[in-house]
Structures are given as C-alpha cells and as structure tokens.
Amino acid sequence: MSVQIKTLEQYQEAFRKSIENPEAFWAEIADTFTWYQKWHTVVNNDMITPDVRWFDGAKVNITQNCLDRHIPERGNQTALIWEPNEPDAPTQKYTYSELLAEVCKCANALKSLGVQKGDRVCFYMPMVPEVAIGILACARIGAIHSVVFAGFSANALAERIKDAQAKVVLCTDYNRRGPKTIPVKEVVDEAIEMGCDSVSHVLTYRSTGGDVLWDERRDIWWHKLVDVQSTVCAPEIMDAEDPLFVLYTSGSTGKPKGVVHTTAGYMVFTCYTFMNTFQYQDGDIYWCTADVGWVTGHSYILYGPLLAGATTLMFEGVPGYPDTGRFWQVIDKYKVNQFYTAPTAIRALMAAGWDEPDKYDLSSIKVLGSVGEPINEEAWRWYDEKIGRGNSPVIDTWWQTETGGIMISSLPGITDTKPCFAAYPHPGIQPVILDQNGQIITENNVEGLLCIQYPWPGMLRTTYGDHERCRTTYFAPYPGYYFTGDAAKRDEDGRYRIIGRVDDVINVSGHRIGTAEVEDAINQHPEIVESAVIGFPHDIKGQGIYAFVKATHDVTQPEQLRKEILEMVTKYIGPIAKPDIIQFVIQLPKTRSGKIMRRILRKIAENQYDQIGDISTLINPESVEEIKSGAQHPF
C-alpha cells in the first residue's frame, strides 16, 4: 500500500500536498482502489458546504473493494475473527473468500425479499458475524444500511425505522451480553407495532436459540433464507455519491439526526485513515472493541480494515465478563497487534485491577488507540504502561459520526504523542480554532471552537430527509466552516487537545446523548412539569447525567418517582441515557423570557458553586439557593 505514511517526512510532505493541491492529493489515494469508471471531478467545491461532492462521475462498489479486490492476493487470509461472549465457546473465522461468499448469500436473500438499490435496511443486531455480513450485503446491492445500537429501546428503534422508512429489519433472537440474555427480537416486534408500516420483513438470525414470537407473513429465519442462496452476487454499480448508510446520532436539539455517508469518499477516507492511524502491516491482528451500532464499528471494525485487507477481530462480549481480564485474555489469545478502545473502558478496567493486565502476555501489542471522549492523563499513563509496556504509542483519535473517519490523531512511531492530546490533523484535514465571534485564531497556545475549513472525502453529505437541518446544524453557525460542536486547545507546537462539547450534547461512557432527548423522556411522566438535564464529570463514565426535575406536586415519595423517571428514560431512549442523579426542585432558574438558565445548573451539577456568577437577571434568583441546598455530589 504505497499511500501508507511511514516517516515524519512523508507525513509532512503528504500534509503539505493536501493543502496545496487537495485534488491531486486525494486522487492519488483514490487511484489505489478499483473503479468501474473513474471520476471526472475530485471535489466540486473548495468551500465547505453541505452540497460537496467527491469523485463525481466515478462508478464503484465498496464491497468489491473490501472483498473481491483482495481475493487474488489474500483469498485465504482471515478477514474476520469472531470471539464469542463465553470464553470457552467456539470462535469463528472467515477468510476473505468465505466472507465474500457469505455476503453474496445474504445479498441474494435481501434481493429475494424485494430489497433494491436505494432501499433502507435497518439492523438491530448484536455483535455477531452476521451483522457484518448483513451490512456488507446491503452495500453489495446498493441498499442503504441503518444500524441501530441494540441497546436502544423499542421506541427509539421505531423512531429510527420510521424516519428512514426501512423496508427490512435484521435482528437476532436473543443476545448474550456478559451474564445477561437480552430479548432482541421482542424489542423489534414491539417497535414494529408502533406504526412501522414501511417494514415488510424481519430477518432473524438464530444466535442463542430460545422461543420467539413469529408472524408468518413478516418473519423469516436467516438459516432458512440465507443459507440456501447462491454464493455469487454481482456487485451493484454505484455512483460515487450514492448513499452508503444512515447512522442516527444525537444533537443539541430535537430528535436524533440520520447522518448520511456516501460511497466513494467514505471508502477512500476510512481506508486511508485506518492504514495510517494503526500502521497496519500484513499479518497483523487488529481489534477494535466498539459496537457496530456506532460509527467506530462501521469505519474501524468493518470498512476501514477490510478495505485495507486487514484481519479484523469482532468481540461479542463485554470487558467485565467473566472477569475484568477479558480484554487482555483476548489480546493474548490472538496476539492482537493494534488495539482500539474507549477511555471509559480503560478507566473501568484500571479501577477494577491495576495489575490485572500483568497476568497476560500482551507483548504482541504495537499500537493502542483511544476514541470517543477525552482520555484523562491517569488513564493514558496506565494504558501506556500496563497495556503498551511503555513501548507502544497511545494514539488518541478525535472524530465524529459526521466526519466518517479519524480527523486528528498522532501517527504511531511517526509523529510524537502527548498525554491528553489527539495532536495532529491527518493529511487532508484542515482544522481551525475560532473565537466566540467566529473569527479564526491563527496563533498557537489558544483555545476556542473547533471547526474544519476545507472539505474532506469522509464528511457527512446530509441528514436523512432533512437537508436544511444539516446545513443549519453544521454549516450555518460559522459560514465557511464545518462546525464540530467541540471546543479545543492548540498548544505551542500545533497539537490539538479536545476539551469537549460546547452544545447540549453529553458524552456518557463514549455514548453521545442529547440532553433535550433525555428531558423529553422525563417530561413524558404525567407528574413532571419540566426538567433540565446536564452533564457532570464522572470518574469512570467521563460524564454522568444530572437531571433537575420539577414535579406537579410536592414530592413526598422521591424514591418511587425517581424509579418511574428512570423507567421513562429506559422506555423512550434506553438504559444508556438513565440519569445518575435526579434532584427534585421547586422551580428551575429562569430568565425573564422564560428560558432555563442551564449555565447555572451546569455549575451546580459540576460542584463549582463559586463559578455560578451573576444571577440578577433571573426572574427567580431564590431558586439558586434552593437548588444548591438540595444538590447531590456522590460521584
């Protein structure tokens, strides 16, 4: 792979070229893929707008590049390793040839259900190989996949199915996750009952066995339909800008947005960033612990590694089962070379047993990645010393669902690393820091809003069904820039450190949650008038959720109401959005125009009373003392 950066000089040269001549830079990388027809224009616009088009005129299929393209050279190489929840259960391995055959079978099965190019197919599936096969099968035939994290509730799933008007849903019967068994199909049934009229079929993979309800007109077993299909399915010839997938993510207002990524740009970007970030070499075993329900799973369990011809490991289980050595045992078992996980997992495992990793042979590790939230210095050092034995660079990767792939990170062994810093932009990425007025700050040693000033191939193209929302959310706030929603620092040498969101989005254990969504769920309770949900620093989760809640009456039985509120949130979103703290208040601090003063609540939730500042503009300044006196800080 000639476009893989190997030295600091090459990084600097690639970066310089990507700024001086972005079209030539990206064209050279794109040239390493297989195209049915080449592009006539690399990128249509120098300005960053939601109407950007990459590789226009080109024709391509991403699965042809993930699978078929590799067959002559690595048909018998393992593409996918699957490690089950139970350590003593059999593992599964698919070579590139085998994976291609399975993908074709599933693609033919989807076709037999009437799925056509452009149709949406929803996945509510845990971490089994069939989810990977199903996703690639969609891409094979040009159907748009919409994967919903299988921890979301039936309501949340229904909302996403309806928004995308999905024709088929793929799921499993149950899911074994750690010690728990989760009724996956039941949640899908429940969701479809909520008016998902677009769904004609549910394709269920039998993962655990066990009884499930069955609707003969709608339900089909994977083993009955997929297993009998032909192992050959010609890839659909796609335009560069045909949508590849939708992935719902939370913002500061309203319902989750369906972020849309398209075919060619996403392909080029995920492969290039994968090769450089992890410095993958032939024969390496790469493991990303994310769930396929999030963008990390899309880009760096599936597409990036497969495009690069890598061996990618997929893990069904959780870090703490059967014990907190599970991750290290898996690294030892497969001799994993690149390991990619989230700070929340690192912190939890560090807290569970400082020396636990010493029991395993982790000498295969070459690169350690971190993603999803800021990594604190203690976690960084433990990761570096205990897992990397001080000789495997820790690479903090900053990116977002919307960016498609990694934007800012050190490159292992190439650029330097610094604890808590994602550090340097990848070639082709032009980050800037803006001040509150939207003015660019060019000096170093500064802090401000993180924006991107030039298009890159992996950027989102729209929000499903609402292009205007995409424009107003990301491109209108600071014209000429893509607005990330994050604040960042740039140090004296140009390294970036991500501070966190500046909007009403919180990051709980690496899961992105909109405070407005949690408030909406809480407010569904008939005894609740209004609520304000705020993030606060949490030792393990990064951020916890603090809910200030106003009830219709004096709360005499807070425990009961608290329990019901948690049930409400679980029902409307899922357990990941359950508040850690619920405080009942008599009134919320408001401005004269009736707006809740979230800034004050944030300071109370963060236990920074001295920074509450001026409260004279409140219509009810007395509310602040009342809330302070009832505030809780157990974490």
| Site size toward ligand WT7, by CB under 6 A | 23
Q: Output the CA torsion sign for 554, 557, 559, 562.
A: negative
Closest CA to 597 of 552, 558, 557, 548: 548
Tell me the closest approach of the beta carbon of residue 358 to ligand WT7, in angstroms: 27
Q: Which helix (H) or strand (E) holds 565?
A: helix 558-572
The 232-251 contact track toward ligand WT7, x by CB under 6 A, reads -----------------x--
- What DSSP state is assigned to residue 90? P
Is 473 near ligand WT7 (CB under 6 A)? no
Is 398 near ligand WT7 (CB under 6 A)? yes
Q: Which helix (H) or strand (E) holds 352?
A: helix 343-352
| Interface with ligand WT7 in residues 276-315 (CB under 6 A) | 294-296
Rounded distance between C-alpha atoms, residue 294 and residue 446, angstroms: 31
Q: Give yes or no for a contact between 350 and 381, defined as CB atoms under 8 angstroms apart.
A: no
Q: Give yes or no for a contact between 293 and 147, defined as CB atoms under 8 angstroms apart.
A: yes
Tell me the closest approach of the beta carbon of residue 468 to ligand WT7, in angstroms: 21
Candidate ranges 92-100, 148-156, 479-487, 611-619; the one touching ligand WT7 (CB under 6 A): 479-487
Tell me the closest approach of the beta carbon of residue 372 to ligand WT7, in angstroms: 4
CB-nearer residue toward ligand WT7: 99 or 348: 348
When binding is defined by CB under 6 A, the residue of 68, 291, 396, 519 that contacts ligand WT7 is 396
In 178-324, DSSP assigns E strands to 180-182, 201-205, 219-221, 238-239, 243-249, 257-262, 285-288, 311-315
Tell me the one-letter amino acid at 283: G
Tell me the closest approach of the beta carbon of residue 586 to ligand WT7, in angstroms: 33
Rounded distance between C-alpha atoms, residue 376 and residue 539, angstroms: 10
Closest CA to 341 of 377, 379, 310, 311: 379
CB-nearer residue toward ligand WT7: 393 or 485: 485
Q: What are phi and psi of 54, to 5 degrees?
A: -115, 140
Tell me the closest approach of the beta carbon of residue 419 to ligand WT7, in angstroms: 12
Tell me the closest approach of the beta carbon of residue 422 to ligand WT7, in angstroms: 5
Tell me the closest approach of the beta carbon of residue 428 to ligand WT7, in angstroms: 17
Tell me the closest approach of the beta carbon of residue 259 to ligand WT7, in angstroms: 8
When binding is defined by CB under 6 A, the residue of 262, 277, 337, 401 that contacts ligand WT7 is 401
| Matching residue, tokens 């799973």 | 297
Tell me the closest approach of the beta carbon of residue 459 to ligand WT7, in angstroms: 13
The 422-451 contact track toward ligand WT7, x by CB under 6 A, reads x-----------------------------
CB-nearer residue toward ligand WT7: 512 or 541: 512
Rounded distance between C-alpha atoms, residue 403 and residue 397, angstroms: 12
Closest CA to 627 of 572, 507, 546, 573: 546
Rounded distance between C-alpha atoms, residue 540 and residue 348, angstroms: 6
Give every strand in the sheet of 446-452, ordered side by side: 440-441, 431-434, 446-452, 482-490, 496-501
Cβ neighbors of 107 (< 8 A, separation 6 or more) are 137, 138, 140, 141, 233
Is 399 near ligand WT7 (CB under 6 A)? yes
Is 463 near ligand WT7 (CB under 6 A)? no
CB-nearer residue toward ligand WT7: 277 or 400: 400
The 484-523 contact track toward ligand WT7, x by CB under 6 A, reads xxx-----------x-xx-----x----x-----------
Tell me the closest approach of the beta carbon of residue 290 to ligand WT7, in angstroms: 7
Length of the chain, please? Answer: 635
Cβ neighbors of 511 (< 8 A, separation 6 or more) are 294, 576
Rounded distance between C-alpha atoms, residue 69 and residue 62, angstroms: 10
The 571-590 contact track toward ligand WT7, x by CB under 6 A, reads --------------------
Rounded distance between C-alpha atoms, residue 385 and residue 188, angstroms: 43
Residue nearest to ligand WT7 (CB): 401
When binding is defined by CB under 6 A, the residue of 372, 425, 544, 574 that contacts ligand WT7 is 372
Tell me the closest approach of the beta carbon of residue 148 to ligand WT7, in angstroms: 14
Mapping DSSP to helix (H, G, I), strand (E, B) and coil, where does residue 408 land?
strand
Tell me the closest approach of the beta carbon of residue 400 to ligand WT7, in angstroms: 4
Rounded distance between C-alpha atoms, residue 489 and residue 499, angstroms: 7
Tell me the one-letter amino acid at 162: K
CB-nearer residue toward ligand WT7: 512 or 602: 512
Is 371 near ligand WT7 (CB under 6 A)? yes
The 74-113 contact track toward ligand WT7, x by CB under 6 A, reads ----------------------------------------
Which residues sit at the interface with ligand WT7, rule CB under 6 A? 249, 294-296, 371-374, 396-401, 422, 484-486, 498, 500-501, 507, 512
